[in-house]
Structure 1
Amino acid sequence: MGNDARLDRMEHDIATLKQDVAELKTDVSGLKSDVSGLKSDVSGLKSDVGGLKQSMTEVKGVLSQIQQLMARIDGRMDEQRATINALIPTRIAAVPPAAE
């Protein structure tokens, strides 16, 4: 192979390498853009998760209040049941027997 052929081959290889490098630069640029988009998405997700955590904290507080109220209602119902149970025998005794 002559020198001219070698130079032509080298020039061809260099041109091919330049194209490959240009394609790699384009690919890297695209990847950087994708990473930037992903970072933005992750930031949004973190914000959403923070909001959900705050909402859960609020819900836990409300549920705690509801449980306390239900316990008070349950206690009051027990008192009423005991009162009614105590009055039933008295009420029955107060009713005269049916005339036969």
Structure 2
Amino acid sequence: MKYEASFTRLGTYNLFMGFLHLGQAAALFFLSNDFTLPITTSFLRLIPETGRLEPITDTVINLPLGAMVALFLLLSAIAHFTIVSPGVFGWYVSNLK
């Protein structure tokens, strides 16, 4: 019984952290610049004229770093909100006991 207050506080804490992460995600998304990191692939290609292998590097996508960090925070906010949702919180608490 003494843990019931702790579980209520845990729910409040998760709700607070969900809103905090949601705010951080929004701020990062709107304040981030267009800095990107390239995601590349490298492989060898045979040059028929010389019979040699030549390394080829190709950029698959330029990943926007600010948006990806904001997406991570958004996923964290969704996880916090899922934990405190009515159907899940009781299950969550019973698994903590």
Instruction: Give the helix-richer structure, 1 or 2.
Output: 1
Structure with more contact order per residue of length (Cα contacts < 8 Å, sep ≥ 6)? 2
Larger radius of gyration: 1
TM over 0.5: no
Question: TM-score of the superposition, structure 2-length normalised?
Answer: 0.34
Instruction: Give the strand-richer structure, 1 or 2.
Output: 2
